[in-house]
Amino acid sequence: MRISVLGTGYVGLVTGAALAHLGNQVVCHDIDRERIDLLRAGRLPFYEPHLDEVVQPARRRGNLIFVSGEFALLNEADVIFICVGTPSLPGGKGIDLRFVRAAATQIGEILEPGRRRVVVNKSTVPLGSRCWVETLVKEVLHRRGRRREMELATVSNPEFLREGSAVYDVFFPDRIVIGTEDEWAVETLHELYRPIIERSFTPPASLAAAPSGQFSPVPFLWVSPAGAELIKYAANAFLATKISFINEIANICEVLGADVREVATGLGLDRRIGPEFLAAGVGWGGSCFGKDLNGLMADARAYGYEPALLRAVFDLNYRQRMVVVKKLQNLLKTLRGMVIAVYGLSFKPQTDDLRDAPSLDVIKKLVSLGALVRVFDPVATGAFRRLCPDPEVKVCHDPDELVEGADGLVIVTEWPQVKELDWERVANRMRRKIIVDGRNVLAGGGLEQYGFAYQGVGIPVRPG
């Protein structure tokens, strides 16, 4: 099929590249010219494992092209995906839909009659947005005198990929959700996704094989547009709830004297609960959970429902970010003048995305307390320099530079490289041997043998 994708972020670029890999003719549009220039030059605008191996062959074959500034090629498409950002409004007062509005307007301005089209919204949006997008597109078409002849369906098709494993998730999704009333649009999308649903495609060589134990064929769920939109919000709200829940249990473990890792293992073996998303720590971050909870809460409140559980999940998470700072204060007392090393900046491993990353709040708090903060991340230091050019924070090139003369080391992101550090070397370089592990990745790693005072989250501290 001929596909157009609006937005070349994590969702748009991975979706476009995957559909090109499956043999479709894909045009990726973005209003960010710099981003498109990079992509045309064969480079990626962000770090995402395996994405390069899908983008470059398709680009060289000529069935994945990148366009900025002009939208004429939208008219050639059978299916148009909207994959633009939907950030929170300032103060968490709902969702800023201006990028979706602009995308819908561009579509309405360009389309000419002559062929059936499906407009698919993949951006995560408040309830009713599918209807709103359809109305916007049709209003523009009406103004241009094209509405009556146009055969057009609009669909909500939420995306569930995770940054860090986005390519894998798009090729091997747990489910595909389609929200629309138009049967022909469902048939079109079923056809487009058929290789993924039936797992009949050849995956990119670098990607692991299809997951075992997953449903095959992939469940293809046809629901109402509001149902599709709420499935996405509810999924993220549930995942955020699971993390905030285990963090609350971790905090209770600390005061009562149990080990949250034991509790999580015991909980996770219950099949009704499952083991995923039960790692206690400094809490969730990223561009989605906070924004989507905000969006869902704003929707509920606008219709007279106070979402008490979601509010608590949200508040607990932002409070949780400070647990590592409190632990440092307990261990070092006054932090003014102390050199604190922060390992991990991205909101999770395998990405350089810093949106709503817990590290940012931790660093801000440490700086406000007068600590001399140093940071290191295996891939996100460049993104951090662009986002926070604070001269008070020293961005280090390697772990050696990070820990040299430090009074405390805080782990904020669970990069696998953390476990591989040479702890004798680290101990020899630090001024005080203190580690606060905001992800519990070093727990049980025998750090005591190198003389470290170690504290995790929800793990009892052995009397000294």
Question: Shortest distance, CB of residue 70 to ligand NAD, whole angstroms?
Answer: 11
Quick one: 85 or 408, whose CB is closer to ligand NAD?
A: 85
Binding to ligand NAD by CB under 6 A, coded x per residue (else -) over 22-61, reads -------xxxx--x--------------------------
For the chain, the first-to-last Cα distance in angstroms comes to: 66
Residue 85 binds ligand NAD (CB under 6 A) = yes
Q: What are phi and psi of 309, to 5 degrees?
A: -65, -45
Question: Shortest distance, CB of residue 417 to ligand NAD, whole angstroms?
Answer: 22
Quick one: 235 or 393, whose CB is closer to ligand NAD?
A: 235
Q: Scan residues 256-295 and list those touching ligand NAD (CB under 6 A).
A: 287-288
Q: Which stretch binds ligand NAD (CB under 6 A): 155-163, 256-264, 303-311, 429-437?
A: 155-163
Quick one: 86 or 455, whose CB is closer to ligand NAD?
A: 86
User: If binding means CB under 6 A, how many residues of this protein chain bind ligand NAD?
Assistant: 27
Residue of 28, 253, 288, 396 marked active site: 288
Quick one: 6 or 293, whose CB is closer to ligand NAD?
A: 6
Quick one: 241 or 287, whose CB is closer to ligand NAD?
A: 287
Residue 229 binds ligand NAD (CB under 6 A) = no
Among 4, 8, 350, 413, binds ligand NAD (CB under 6 A): 8
Residue 102 binds ligand NAD (CB under 6 A) = yes
Which of 42, 48, 38 has the alpha carbon at shortest distance from 68? 38
Residue 97 binds ligand NAD (CB under 6 A) = no
To the query of whether residue 28 is one of the catalytic residues in this protein, the response is no
Among 3, 11, 278, 310, binds ligand NAD (CB under 6 A): 11
Residue 352 binds ligand NAD (CB under 6 A) = no
Residue 299 binds ligand NAD (CB under 6 A) = no
Q: Which stretch binds ligand NAD (CB under 6 A): 84-92, 141-149, 199-207, 219-227?
A: 84-92
Q: Scan residues 115-154 and list those touching ligand NAD (CB under 6 A).
A: 123-124
Quick one: 21 or 355, whose CB is closer to ligand NAD?
A: 355
Question: Shortest distance, CB of residue 121 to ligand NAD, whole angstroms?
Answer: 9
Among 27, 103, 111, 296, binds ligand NAD (CB under 6 A): 103
Active site residues: 288
Contact residues toward ligand NAD (CB under 6 A) are 6-12, 29-32, 35, 83-86, 99, 102-103, 106, 123-124, 159, 161, 163, 287-288
